[in-house]
Amino acid sequence: MKHLPNIIYRVARLVAALVLFQTLFFKFSGAEESIYIFTKVGMEPWGRIAVGIFELVAGVLLLIPATAWLGGLVALGLMSGAIGLHLTVLGIAVKGDGGYLFLLAVIVAICSAYILIRNTEKIFGAIATTRQKVS
C-alpha cells in the first residue's frame, strides 16, 4: 500500500500521455471529426495543428519524470480549453460520439491535475528559481 501513490502517479502520467498521443493522428491527418470541431470553433486549420503540436509536447513531457509537472500543466491548460468549448460551443456529444471526446478531455484533465498536485514542490521550486534569476 505504501507504493500505491507512486503507482497511481505513473498511471496518471501514462494515461494522459496515451490519450494525447492517440488524438494526434486525427488532428494531423485532418480527420473529418477534427475538422468539424475546429471549424465550429473558428480555428480550422491553424488551431487544429497548433493544438496537436501542444498535445504532442505535453505528451512527451508527461513521460519524462523530471518534466511531468510541466506536461501536466500544458495538458491541463489544453483540456480546460477543450472542456470549456464542449460546454459552450460544441456540446458534450460531437457528431454522435456519445460524449467520448468530452470524457477523454475530463480524464486527461483529472490526471493532469493529480500530476500537478503531486509535483507542488517542484513547481514552487521552479518559480522560486525563476524569480531569483529575474531579480
pLDDT at 39 over 80: yes
CA distances to 31, 99, 121 from 126, in Å:
38, 37, 9
**Cα 131 to Cα 3: distance, rounded to the nearest angstrom:** 34
Q: pTM value?
A: 0.90
Distance of alpha carbon 64 from its chain centroid, rounded? Answer: 15
Nine-digit cell string for 24: 494526434
How are the residues of the chain apportioned to helix, strand and coil, as percentages rounded to the nearest 5? 85, 0, 15
Tens-place pLDDT, residues 55-88: 999 999 999 999 999 999 999 999 999 999 999 9
Residue type at position 41: V
**Is the per-residue pLDDT at 135 higher than 80?**
no
